[in-house]
């Protein structure tokens, strides 16, 4: 169990140097009928009995009533039936749309939880009974990622133990749990619920002993006429899956409990604490690495876009120009350099011819226009300073990660300045 004394001492003004401890977020997912809502109610009452009340969030917009009080309820902000009527959707489509609408305000939800995080040690979240609406939707990923980025997050996969007594159904549940684990990339606990109806010893034995599962599978094939008719394909598939999942079982914590009697909830909370340690040791570093790589990719894309923008405007980046030179100091000719070089040569010839004509005309009349020379020098200085300003502006844009639109507006301003 998580100790509540540090939080109490912090409230009283003691232990001021003690760093604030983030509450644990427990996201409860599972198949329809597995007992998620009842599990949430029992977990809520169990934590209240321990004098450690949790922060409760309901994300099921279609449920009529919940047997526990919610700090945040999606039904308070989104009318499920109204969504169905407005968007002409069915039940599942309306759930997904409701979650999408709720996900647009997830920053406010995180802010509320974080604001009150010193008052609780656990934040428990109930999800829709249609598991695919949450796990495989974009809004479900956004909500999970938002909580995982701020708080230690654990996935509790609730399993209906009596219905998992068949080896085929058991493997189906394990495959779904495996897919959720690799989709969310969060620590997971397998919770075998309804142990008051059927003990979960058989499931734990199947997970630890491959031969025991094989024996159960063979017995099931002999007893069931329906299975025996297609037993060749089914037995082969289940055998293959059981071998693949053997490695998967080693990464999971398994807990058996009963939401009806309250049995096993102390073990569940101990498993949550161990998963928090796993989150801090493994998942936090992995998430930091992923976020760092994502920022680097965004920075590279930003630099490429700005380079293309400057190239389209005919501006030259001195740093990039140097990169085009070889180690021997020779310049690598590119198509843009060749074309611009030819144009510059043509322009130089015309300028030289015009200068000769002006000089001849000036000497014929005995007049040399000094003011024109000064104007040319001022114009050149003006253009040079504008180019330097554009270069400096470009560097600031890259460093600050500014948008291309804002940078292009400033560049256009400078170009107009240089053109008078």
Nearest of 103, 92, 4 to residue 50 by alpha carbon: 4
Q: What are phi and psi of 213, to 5 degrees?
A: -65, -40
pTM summary value: 0.67
Give the tokens for residue 387. Answer: 């180019």
Three-state SS for 11-45 is HCCCCCCCCCCCCEEEEEEECCCCCHHHHHHHHHH
| Residue 165 · residue 172 · CB < 8 Å | no
pLDDT in tens, the chain (420 residues): 344 444 444 444 444 443 467 899 999 999 988 999 999 999 999 999 999 999 999 999 999 889 999 999 999 999 999 999 999 999 999 999 999 999 999 999 999 999 999 999 999 999 998 888 898 899 999 999 999 989 999 999 999 999 998 888 898 899 899 899 888 888 999 999 999 999 999 999 998 888 888 888 888 777 665 444 445 677 777 877 887 787 788 778 899 999 999 999 999 999 999 999 888 888 888 777 877 888 888 888 877 877 777 676 665 555 555 555 544 455 444 444 444 445 445 555 665 665 565 555 544 444 444 444 455 566 566 656 666 666 676 667 666 666 656 666 666 666 665 555
Sheet arrangement for strand 24-30: 72-73, 55-58, 122-126, 24-30, 153-160, 188-193, 253-256
pLDDT value at residue 397 = 67
Residue-level pLDDT at 316: 53
pLDDT confidence of residue 353: 63
pLDDT value of position 11: 45
pLDDT for 107: 93
Burial label for 101, CB within 10 Å (0-12, 13-18, 19+), is middle
> Hey, what's the torsion of the CAs at 393, 396, 398, 399, to 10 degrees?
170
187 Cα distance to chain centroid: 15
Contacts of 362 (CB under 8 A, 6+ apart): 368, 369
């Amino acid at each position: 169990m998580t100790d509540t004394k540090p939080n109490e001492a912090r409230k009283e003004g003691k232990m001021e140097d003690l760093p604030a401890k983030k509450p644990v977020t427990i996201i409860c997912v599972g198949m329809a009928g597995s007992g998620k809502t009842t599990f949430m109610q029992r977990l809520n009452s169990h934590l209240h009995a321990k004098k450690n009340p949790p922060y409760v969030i309901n994300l099921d917009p279609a449920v009529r009533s919940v047997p526990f009080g919610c700090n945040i309820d999606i039904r308070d902000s989104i009318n499920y039936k109204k969504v169905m009527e407005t968007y002409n959707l069915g039940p599942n489509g309306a759930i997904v749309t409701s979650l999408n609408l709720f996900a647009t305000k997830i920053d406010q939800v995180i802010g509320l939880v974080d604001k009150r995080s010193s008052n609780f040690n656990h934040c428990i979240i109930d999800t829709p009974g249609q598991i695919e609406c949450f796990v495989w939707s974009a809004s479900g990923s956004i909500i999970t990622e938002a909580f995982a980025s701020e708080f230690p997050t654990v996935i509790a996969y609730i399993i209906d133990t009596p219905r998992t007594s068949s080896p085929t159904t058991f493997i189906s549940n394990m495959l779904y749990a495996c897919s959720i684990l690799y989709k969310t990339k969060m620590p997971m606990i397998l919770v075998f619920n309804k142990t008051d109806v059927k003990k979960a010893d058989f499931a734990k034995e199947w997970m630890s002993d491959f031969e025991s599962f094989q024996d159960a599978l063979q017995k099931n094939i002999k007893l069931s006429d329906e299975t025996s008719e297609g037993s060749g394909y089914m037995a082969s598939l289940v055998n293959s899956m059981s071998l693949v999942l053997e490695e998967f079982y080693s990464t999971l914590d398994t807990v058996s409990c009963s939401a009806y009697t309250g049995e096993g909830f102390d073990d569940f909370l101990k498993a949550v604490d161990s998963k928090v340690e796993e989150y801090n040791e493994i998942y936090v570093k992995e998430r930091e690495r992923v976020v760092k790589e994502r920022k680097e990719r965004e920075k590279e894309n930003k630099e490429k876009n700005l380079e293309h923008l400057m190239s389209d405007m005919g501006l030259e980046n001195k740093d990039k120009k140097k990169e085009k030179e070889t180690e021997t100091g020779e310049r690598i000719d590119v198509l843009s350099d060749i074309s611009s070089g030819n144009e510059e040569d043509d322009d130089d010839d015309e300028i030289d011819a015009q200068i000769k004509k002006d000089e001849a005309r000036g000497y014929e009349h005995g007049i040399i226009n000094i003011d024109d020379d000064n104007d040319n020098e001022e114009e050149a200085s003006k253009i040079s300073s504008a180019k330097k300003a554009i270069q400096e502006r470009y560097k600031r844009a890259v460093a600050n990660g500014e948008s291309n639109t804002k940078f292009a507006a400033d560049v256009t301003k400078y170009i107009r300045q240089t053109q008078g």
